[in-house]
Amino acid sequence: MARTHNLGFPRIGAQRELKFALESYWKGQSTRDELKAEGARLRRRHWQDQAGLDLVPVGDFAFYDQVLDMSFTLGNLPERVQGFHGDALDNYFRVARGRSAEEHAQCCGGVAAGEMTKWFDTNYHYIVPEFTAATEFRLDASRLLEQLDEARAQGVKAKPVIVGPVTYLALGKAKDDSDRLALLPRLLPVYAELLETLAAQGVEWVQIDEPLLVTELDADWQHAFNTAYHHLKSSRVKLLLATYFGQLAENQYLAANLPVAGLHIDAINGRDDIVPLLNLLPSHKVLSLGVINGRNIWKTDLDAVLDWLEPLAERLDDRLWIAPSCSLLHVPVDLASEHTLDAGITSWLAFALQKLDELKLLATALNQGRAAVAAELAANRAAVDARRSSPRVHNPAVQAALAAVTSALGRRHSPYPVRAARQAALLKLPPYPTTTIGSFPQTAEIRQARSRYKAGELDEAGYKAAMRAEIARSVREQEALGLDVLVHGEAERNDMVEYFGEQLDGYAFSQFGWVQSYGSRCVKPPILFGDISRPRPMTVDWITYAQSLTGKPMKGMLTGPVTLLNWSFVRDDQPRSASCTQLALAIREEVLDLEKAGMRVIQIDEAALREGLPLRRSQWKDYLDWAVESFRITANGVADETQIHTHMCYSEFNDIIASIAGMDADVITIETSRSDMELLDAFDDFKYPNEIGPGVYDIHSPNIPATAHIVQLMRKAAERIPAQRLWVNPDCGLKTRQWSEVIPALTNMVAAARTLRAST
């Protein structure tokens, strides 16, 4: 008999209830008890939603982040919040969000938030555990035990979920550069105590997450796994060691032989692990297969899964468990909430609840035979077949264009030095040219006009007029500031991906397809379901209008194909690279139309290029090759005189600099202000030959940068990059700022550029 279980459930709520409860509590509009009550309500509902599974996760609920929860469970609080006398939940939020020094001058004096970073290759962000050589751990199982009690009182077949010790250490950062692994001997007794506490509560199975096992491991980390699980092996609970997001590959032997009672693997990304594991896995161990994709929103082809799963079920019998590939945290909750998606596309999708239904169906088919669920399987087959053969998915013209792609498409006519001279002659920019990254403040008026337009209260002409007025304001302000290359300000864009997705064929949008990004923040990734084409120009009218208001060059502003891909739910019926190339061909048409309309500078943002890097380094090259080629196809059809910019909002380039240079943009703007220009070391002459705009101030902060500070940063930059190749600009777009912050900040930035020019 195959058993079913789940690794984790989205906690934000189908209507984002947790988001609203958190934000209201943070604003002081509700009490802590009300927030806790909402948490309990959500847990109850989510356990009910998972009823019918043989084991249901408990402890996967977090008010902010499951890794931060684990830090509190292990008593690993950053030193700056230790000894706080207030409520524990408030202290947890202090680490999660920080407290500003100004507002808390009288009380705690403010506290810095914990650093946040991406959870493996997902768009979820966790709070990085902090260590020093002196870190001590002390068990606080209260949260887990409360939730366990609660679950039991509701009759839930509870399986507590915790982050495993090795992954926990690997996810953290040693603030004093000490060796994190040296903490393992201090950490393991606390884990042992935690397991013992759970055993004393009568818990049978504990899911211990070690996704680190799908990454390349140095010998000392491999060794840490052995040390850790041998230390924990005398525990009275059974451990299900959960790996996900990829293949175990060379870690198969290690994972199979750790002394635990069961192993979960991602059977979507790690299908190739299964056969070798069947031979490696000791015969008393449970093998849990993640057969439903926890990372995308497509219906599972149940027939196809059963075809390969049935022989395994026969062979493994009671030792086979089935589950989603990973926690369902990464998908929206319920497709039934969707009323605006058309029925055709809806019938191809499965969100968290639908995925659990699929799981139960598979279990019934395995345990009682396919005939027991013949009608459900037939319905699934019909939906899967309909998607496979739908003319909405397959567009012969796009396929033909894809087949005709050659490397010539991605090549500029002349090398950078030739282009640079031609562009300089045309643009006549001063040394240290100034520009911004694209967006200007999304004011209350802009948001209001947009929501009135969406609600049908404002007609299209009225909406356009409102947006044009905002564009005109941006242009006016930029001229007054004396910036050199202007932007239109992106007033008409709600989001840099959604805006383009809405205008491309092959994309669909859900109404409630929210996925937690961090804390109370959610994103609603567009759904790339079919061959991508651009029925008509998307930005040309807005940009030409903006250009008509000024004699300065106006930058055309686009989102690049790699970013569109990485921030969407994408097709599973073709490689990501194929979808990316289709996006590239569509955005290329827009680039060429902008050029035709007279734009001399075009920026193509690739904010998410780095995010797409595979977990395993050995796969980086393949990804970077097609990602860079997609950018090149998008950008490089223009004449030598047209200046291509790209923008990336992060600051780690060392390991990918050759690929970034390979994009061959004329100018790249990057985020550097917080790293004090040191990261420009990655961009020395040999490695990066084109122009660079290192961000000179942090747009996340309301602080106004001082002119002298900007001058000093740029002088540092000029020690690394020849001055004639430097631009002056902020770290990123300004949409989250107020005009009252933007004006003085840019005034100082322009003044800094003038100072620099005077001294060159």
Q: What is the DSSP string of 438-456?
A: SB----HHHHHHHHHHHTT
Task: Rule CB under 6 A: say whether 735 interacts with ligand GLN.
Answer: yes
Distance CA(603)–CA(81), nearest Å, equals 43
Measured distance CA(289)–CA(262) in Å, rounded: 11
- List the beta bridge partners of residue 404: none
Identify whether the C-beta of residue 452 lies closer than 8 Å to the C-beta of residue 458: yes
Q: ∠ CA 596-602-607 to the nearest 5 degrees?
A: 140
Q: Is 119 annotated as a binding residue?
A: no
557 touches ligand GLN by CB under 6 A: yes
CA-wise closest residue to 556 among 477, 629, 489: 489
Say if residues 212 and 167 touch (Cβ distance below 8 Å). Answer: yes
- Contact (CB, 8 A) for 657 and 609: no
Consult the annotation and say whether 19 binds a ligand: yes
CB of 590 to ligand GLN, least distance (A): 14
Told to check if 604 binds ligand GLN by CB under 6 A, we report no
CB 81 within 8 A of CB 111: yes
The smaller minimum CB distance to ligand GLN, of residues 121 and 490, is found at 490
- How many other CB atoms are found less than 10 A from the CB of residue 95? 23
**Terminal-residue alpha carbon distance, the chain:** 78
For residue 576, state whether it binds ligand GLN (rule: CB under 6 A). Answer: no
Contact between 733 and ligand GLN by CB under 6 A: the answer reads: yes
**Residue 330, binding choice from ligand GLN, Zn ion, none, Cβ under 5 to 8 Å by partner class:** none
Site map for ligand GLN, 608-647, x if CB under 6 A?
Answer: ---------------------------------------x
Q: Which one among 350, 599, 732, 734 touches Zn ion, defined by CB under 5 A?
A: 732
With contact defined as beta carbons under 8 Å apart, do 527 and 509 qualify?
A: yes
Segment (H or E) for 556: strand 555-559
Nearest-CB residue for Zn ion = 649
For the CB of residue 562, give the shortest distance to Zn ion in the complex, in Å: 14
Question: Considering beta carbons, is residue 377 or 557 the nearer one to ligand GLN?
Answer: 557
Contact between residue 47 and residue 57 where contact means Cβ atoms under 8 Å apart:
no
CB of 489 to ligand GLN, least distance (A): 9
Nearer of residues 241 and 750 to ligand GLN, judged by Cβ: 750
Instruction: List phi, psi (to 5°) of 512.
Output: -125, 25
Partner from Zn ion, ligand GLN, none contacting 721, C-beta within 5 to 8 A by type: none
Cα distance between residue 229 and residue 444, in whole Å:
54
Using CB under 6 A, count the residues that bind ligand GLN: 13
Cβ atoms within 10 A of the Cβ of 578, count? 16
Annotated binding-site residue? 671? yes
649 in contact with Zn ion (CB under 5 A): yes
> Quick one: what does residue 496 bind among ligand GLN, Zn ion, none, with the CB cut-off 5 to 8 Å set by partner type?
ligand GLN
CB-wise, 632 or 735, nearer to ligand GLN? 735
Cβ distance to ligand GLN smaller for residue 84 or 650: 650
> From the CB of 436, what's the least distance to ligand GLN, in Å?
7
**91-99, 401-409, 427-435, 731-739 -> range binding ligand GLN (CB under 6 A):** 731-739
Shortest reach from residue 566's CB to ligand GLN, in Å? 12
Q: Which is nearer to ligand GLN, 2 or 692 (CB)?
A: 692
Q: Does 649 bind ligand GLN (CB under 6 A)?
A: yes
Q: Is 587 in the site for ligand GLN (CB under 6 A)?
A: no
Residue 584 interacts with ligand GLN (CB under 6 A)?
A: no
DSSP 666: S
605 binds ligand GLN (CB under 6 A): yes
Give CA–CA dist 58/147, Å, rounded.
Answer: 7
Is 312 a binding residue for ligand GLN by CB under 6 A? The answer is: no
Instruction: Give residue number: closest CB to ligand GLN.
Output: 733
Strand 286-292 and strand 555-559: the pairing is unpaired
Nearer to ligand GLN, 7 or 649 (CB): 649
444 contact partners, CB below 8 Å, separation of at least 6: none
Q: How far apart are CA 422 and CA 430, in angstroms?
A: 15
Q: With contact defined as beta carbons under 8 Å apart, do 34 and 21 qualify?
A: yes
720 binding partner (options Zn ion, ligand GLN, none; Cβ < 5 to 8 Å by kind):
none
700 is a catalytic site residue: yes
458 touches which of Zn ion, ligand GLN, none (CB within 5 to 8 A by kind)?
none
From the list 270, 438, 694, 705, which residue makes contact with ligand GLN (rule: CB under 6 A)? 438
d(CA 203, CA 262): 15
Nearer to ligand GLN, 495 or 573 (CB): 495
Nearest distance, CB of residue 520 and ligand GLN, angstroms? 20
Tokens of 672: 């550097």
Give me the least distance between CB of 755 and ligand GLN, in Å please: 25
Q: How many CB atoms lie within 10 A of CB 3?
A: 17
Nearest to 13 by CA among 517, 509, 516, 356: 516
Marked catalytic residue, from 230, 394, 413, 700: 700
Q: What is the DSSP letter of 551?
A: S
Amino acid (one-letter) located at 118? K
If one asks whether residue 496 binds ligand GLN (CB under 6 A), the answer comes out as: yes
**Least distance between ligand GLN and beta carbon 671 (Å):** 9
Q: Give the one residue of 111, 732, 746, 753 binding ligand GLN; rule: CB under 6 A.
A: 732
Distances (CA, A) of 282 to 212, 258, 271, 278: 21, 10, 19, 9
Q: Does residue 125 bind ligand GLN (CB under 6 A)? A: no
From 447-455, 584-592, 702-710, 732-740, span contacting Zn ion (CB under 5 A): 732-740
Please give the full DSSP string across 503-538, using - where no structure is assigned.
TSEEEE--SS--EEEETTEEE---EEEEEEE-SS-S
Check residue 607 for interaction with ligand GLN (CB under 6 A): yes
Pick one of ligand GLN, Zn ion, none as the site partner of residue 377 (Cβ within 5 to 8 A by kind): none
Question: Token pair for residue 633?
Answer: 């196809």
- Specify the stretch interacting with ligand GLN by CB under 6 A; choose among 135-143, 293-301, 401-409, 729-737: 729-737
- Measured from the CB atom, the residue of 438 and 637 that comes closer to ligand GLN is 438
Rg (C-alpha) for the chain, rounded Å, is 27
Q: How far is the CB of 37 from ligand GLN (least distance, A)?
A: 36
Residue reference for tokens 């739908």: 390
Residue 160: enclosing H or E segment and its boundaries? Answer: strand 158-163
Structure tokens at 710: 């900007």
**Which residues are at the interface with ligand GLN (CB under 6 A)?**
437-439, 490, 496, 557, 605, 607, 647, 649, 732-733, 735
Annotated binding site: 16-19, 118, 123, 437-439, 490, 521-522, 567, 605, 611, 647, 649, 671, 732
**Which residues are at the interface with Zn ion (CB under 5 A)?**
649, 732
- Return the active site residues: 700
